[in-house]
Structure 1
Amino acid sequence: MRWRQVLTGVCDAFAGRFGRVEPRRAAAVFVTGLLADIEVKTCWQLAEQAGYGRPDAMQRLLYRAKWDADAVRDDVRQVVVDRLGDPDGVLVVDETGDLKKGVHTVGVQRQYTGTAGRIENAQVGVFLAYASRHGHTLIDRRVYLPKSWTDDRQRCEQSGVPDDVAFATRSELADDMITAAVKALVPARWVAADEAYGNNTRLRGELRKLRLGYVLAVSRDHLVPIDGGKTRCRADRLAADLPATAWTRRSAGNGSKGPRFYDWAWLADVGADGDPDDDGRHSLLIRRNNTTGELAFYRCWTPGPATLAQLVRVAGVRWAVEESFQAGKGQVGLDQHQVRRWTSWHRFTTLALAALAVLAICAADARTADRHSQPDMIELTVNEIRRLINVLLIQPARSIAYRLRWSNWRRRHQACAKRAHYARRLNLEFPP
């Protein structure tokens, strides 16, 4: 079956990164387990799903086994590019947060995260997605370390953060991933991102150096050079002064409920954003919700001529990263890692990207196969593909004796953890 070949092919792509056969097999089983229909995808559950008697092999894979997560990431990215690559591809950057308790998980602190929509105790990861006409998926990741971490080297050492890792803003992490993708010859012509990244002047400048066109959301108070760069005007003020004839209705792509139509206005010739000798084309794109009237603003740049239709398409493609986050968390447990250390986070997340790549490639193959053969059904979705993979490919162990052994193991392990927690709490309350 083609899907089995895809799963095997993705795992084989990075098999050579493991010097020993045990972690190599464990990695393949780990990726398969992330695709399995289990409630929580931690080392315990993945080991049980695979038929192991204990979680040691999975825990060793994330903690102590010798392998380079970044090298595996490179292999997974190449597999994605080989199947989904397109010269008109779009790199989409965004972040997502995982709510955490305590202070020991790498990168955790009280900070704003869009996952909760407010300031919470959370860990934030910055991700890069690749989107083309063939499909989309996540291809890179960075954990964000606040200054409260990078300024405390002892804390970093306890969590396994390398000594050469210094503080970097989320925009700098995004630039690092985009630059790495360009060096790896990922076929992309565009970059898209939300306001958190579009408002960053340095990131926009770095993208121009890479000769990547961009459609980056900016805030309503973003200052736009006009009159040949002599003056600057707020983006929302420019929108308010536009005549009715400046707006045109276009679709930003198809959504789950049909085409996503908005009203668009395009100021196709605004002043340079930085270097006045830049030979590219600067513009401001404005989107208006035709129901609520809500406005969104995009700072755009292209190394050569571009059309409104192209810019609108790229603005709409930005939602691919949101869909990838939803699939990553809902289908392969991207947010279910129960790890604290730097190395373990990168390893778990990399294997989750591999599992997500399997689903993205299978979805692309299904669209190609079903384009003319199933007019009375929708295309196979990532969610449905994972369900079918479980039914057709994954055979979990389900004997009663096996389940009872795992139940006993969990209860003993949890009893040990309970005793340790009680002892720690009593020592804090009544120190010797």
Structure 2
Amino acid sequence: MIFRMNHGYSERMHVTNHNSEWRNCTHTAPLQMVITHETTRSNVIGQAINPFIRVAEVFVPYQVLEYRYVKIPVQIDITQEITRSDVIGTPINPFTGIAEDFVLFIRRYNDYFTVTTRSVADTAEQYLYGLMQSDKRNMERMAEVVPDSDEQSFQNFISNSPWSARVILNQISIDADSLFGGDPDTCLIIDETSFIKKGVMSVGVARQWCGRLGKVDNCQVGVFAALACRSHVTLIDTRLYLPKVWINDPDRCRNAGVPEEFIVYQKKSEQALDMIKQARNNGIRNNKVGVDGGYGKEPDFLRGLDSSGEIFMADVHKDQLIYLENPEPTVPEPKSNRGRKPTKLKAQTDPIRVDEWAARQPEDAWQIIPIRETTRGTLYAYILQERVWVWDGEEEEAHCWHLIVRREIDSPKEIKYSLSNASKDSSIERLAFMQGQRFWVERASSKTERVNAVSMNTRFAVGMAGITIWRL
């Protein structure tokens, strides 16, 4: 399949992009060729600069693939009216279907790149092709592998062209919701990922916690929202976190292209709440929200979810304090008539750390519960569940929520703690399933780290978040 590019294949397994000498040639590929890790891309498809190959690599591992003789016409525009068989006959080639679906899918969004009398849809497509096929995903390297493109066009497209990233993200979230929104297992998962940087010019770059490295280092941090349903997951929104060192230097923000309305400090948990509210405004039909310990440790964040009617499953750190009985916060009576009267609330019972509580439980209290299906069968884990009270020291009333503790069967020292405001009659099996759904978005985030690094350098905040989502 070829689109707006002049590719030809020859018997000598050589490909050129703009040379009529090779037009309408036939590339002979071996039948029943066993592809191993040692087999390079050039062994399989020649030396083609082909924007579809990277797409195929993402989805289809090189494992015992079957190829047939394929004649690929040159300079053909793929439309919905042109079928796969019209383009390349009937090859048994999994790359073809992926490529065709990819091209047709991204062209659904062409109208969003049309502003006033000018369209940058072609550049948007080229940018996506570059993300897919470039080994190093920066604009210079992308322009080298995408014919008829150049780095300056990419820079202008990202930084200056007036298309709206917000509008595209909204549409992507609505499209994702049409696939599995409303399913009882659909959840909105908040996660962050970091992008390692060496310089100081990229928007939001600073010495801060880098999750990829597990330490403080120079990086950018993005907060993402993903819609997940069992093993299916896709990113639908994102925010770029601006550390205080940036907010406290407005000139630096302006020089980097940060709009005035964004030069206001927001905690990551506040950005997460904004994305959850945006999802509801877009009509996203998720039944719960999942977050990791970086957000679960924020009492105001959990309060915000609870007060807005969102069901959540929030990981917490092992030092999270809980109450086994209602602490019934009250202001103590003054001990004498002298001095100031007490004004702060005080719990009537003592708290305990979640790890200390779990360590006290007898072995027969742990239940073996199925978590999810894997390629090797059903994954099980030991689970503890208890109704506990959580109080932040300020609210007038404590919250009675579920505490879920998970211990891996093969790694007994690997223990995970979570709080949930799900209904009190929720089964332990259901709670364990909800707790395990973060696995899928963590996989999506790992892909995002590889693809979206170039996007976080450009068009402040949300630049090409939609690009990342398309890729996943």
TM-score, normalised by the number of residues in structure 2 = 0.69
Deviation at 1:97, TM superposition (A): 0.9
Alpha-carbon distance in structure 1 between the residues aligned to 2:180 and 2:103: 16
Deviation at 1:139, TM superposition (A): 1.1
Alignment-mate amino acid for residue 320 of structure 1: W
Query: Is 2:172 the partner of 1:54?
Result: no
Alpha-carbon distance in structure 2 between the residues aligned to 1:159 and 1:328: 23
Query: Is 2:433 the partner of 1:335?
Result: no
- What pairs up with 1:5-404 in 2 under 5 angstroms? 5=101, 7-13=103-109, 15-19=111-115, 20-35=117-132, 37-52=133-148, 54-88=150-184, 89-133=186-230, 135-165=232-262, 166-229=264-327, 230-231=348-349, 232-267=351-386, 269-271=387-389, 273=391, 282-294=401-413, 295-303=415-423, 305-330=425-450, 333-337=451-455, 339=457, 341=458, 343=459, 346-356=462-472
Larger mean CA deviation between 26-35 and 310-319 belongs to 26-35
Query: Is the contact between residue 212 and residue 303 of structure 1 (CA under 8 Å) also seen in structure 2?
Result: no
Deviation at 1:21, TM superposition (A): 4.6
Partner of 1:382: none
Higher relative contact order (CA 8 A, sep 6+): 1
Q: Cα 1:7–1:205, aligned 2, differ >3 Å: closer, same or farther?
A: farther
- The alignment partner of 1:40 has SS state of coil
Q: Cα 1:243–1:134, aligned 2, differ >3 Å: closer, same or farther?
A: closer
Alignment-mate amino acid for residue 85 of structure 1: G
Q: Cα 1:344–1:169, aligned 2, differ >3 Å: closer, same or farther?
A: closer
Deviation at 1:132, TM superposition (A): 0.5
Q: Cα 1:70–1:239, aligned 2, differ >3 Å: closer, same or farther?
A: same
- Tell me the alpha carbon deviations over residues 90-145 of structure 1, each in whole angstroms, 9 at most, x when there is no partner: 11111111111122211111111111111111111111111013610111111111
- Tell me the alpha carbon deviations over residues 340-373 of structure 1, each in whole angstroms, 9 at most, x when there is no partner: x5x25622333222222xxxxxxxxxxxxxxxxx
Q: Cα 1:259–1:21, aligned 2, differ >3 Å: closer, same or farther?
A: farther
Alpha-carbon distance in structure 1 between the residues aligned to 2:448 and 2:178: 20
How many residues matched?
A: 349
Q: Cα 1:310–1:11, aligned 2, differ >3 Å: closer, same or farther?
A: farther
- Tell me the alpha carbon deviations over residues 182-219 of structure 1, each in whole angstroms, 9 at most, x when there is no partner: 22121111111211111110111111123221111111
Gaps of 5+ in 1: 357-432
Over the residues paired in the alignment, what is the CA RMSD in angstroms? 2.4
Query: Is the contact between residue 189 and residue 227 of structure 2 (CA under 8 Å) also seen in structure 1?
Result: yes
- The alignment partner of 2:120 has SS state of helix
Deviation at 1:52, TM superposition (A): 1.1
Gaps of 5+ in 2: 1-83, 85-96, 328-347
Alpha-carbon distance in structure 1 between the residues aligned to 2:150 and 2:388: 62
- Tell me the alpha carbon deviations over residues 44-74 of structure 1, each in whole angstroms, 9 at most, x when there is no partner: 3333433115333222211111111111111
Query: Is the contact between residue 197 and residue 203 of structure 1 (CA under 8 Å) also seen in structure 2?
Result: yes
- The alignment partner of 2:409 has SS state of coil
- Tell me the alpha carbon deviations over residues 298-350 of structure 1, each in whole angstroms, 9 at most, x when there is no partner: 111125632211111111111112110223344xx2224483x5x25622333
- Tell me the alpha carbon deviations over residues 389-432 of structure 1, each in whole angstroms, 9 at most, x when there is no partner: xxxxxxxxxxxxxxxxxxxxxxxxxxxxxxxxxxxxxxxxxxxx
Deviation at 1:40, TM superposition (A): 1.9
Query: Is the contact between residue 250 and residue 264 of structure 1 (CA under 8 Å) also seen in structure 2?
Result: yes
Alpha-carbon distance in structure 1 between the residues aligned to 2:149 and 2:291: 45
Query: Is the contact between residue 128 and residue 140 of structure 1 (CA under 8 Å) also seen in structure 2?
Result: yes
Query: Is the contact between residue 264 and residue 288 of structure 1 (CA under 8 Å) also seen in structure 2?
Result: yes
Alpha-carbon distance in structure 1 between the residues aligned to 2:456 and 2:443: 23
Alpha-carbon distance in structure 2 between the residues aligned to 1:76 and 1:334: 16
Deviation at 1:12, TM superposition (A): 1.7
Alignment-mate amino acid for residue 380 of structure 2: F
- Computing the radius of gyration from Cα coordinates, the structure with the larger value is 2
- The alignment partner of 1:119 has SS state of strand
Deviation at 1:256, TM superposition (A): 5.0
Larger mean CA deviation between 347-356 and 128-137 belongs to 347-356
Which one has a larger percent helix, Structure 1 or Structure 2?
1
- The alignment partner of 2:389 has SS state of coil
Alpha-carbon distance in structure 1 between the residues aligned to 2:456 and 2:171: 25
Q: Cα 1:10–1:276, aligned 2, differ >3 Å: closer, same or farther?
A: farther
Alpha-carbon distance in structure 2 between the residues aligned to 1:250 and 1:257: 16
Deviation at 1:33, TM superposition (A): 3.3
Q: Cα 1:49–1:21, aligned 2, differ >3 Å: closer, same or farther?
A: farther
Deviation at 1:16, TM superposition (A): 3.2
Alpha-carbon distance in structure 1 between the residues aligned to 2:149 and 2:196: 30
Alpha-carbon distance in structure 1 between the residues aligned to 2:197 and 2:420: 36
| Percent pairwise identity | 24
- The alignment partner of 1:127 has SS state of strand
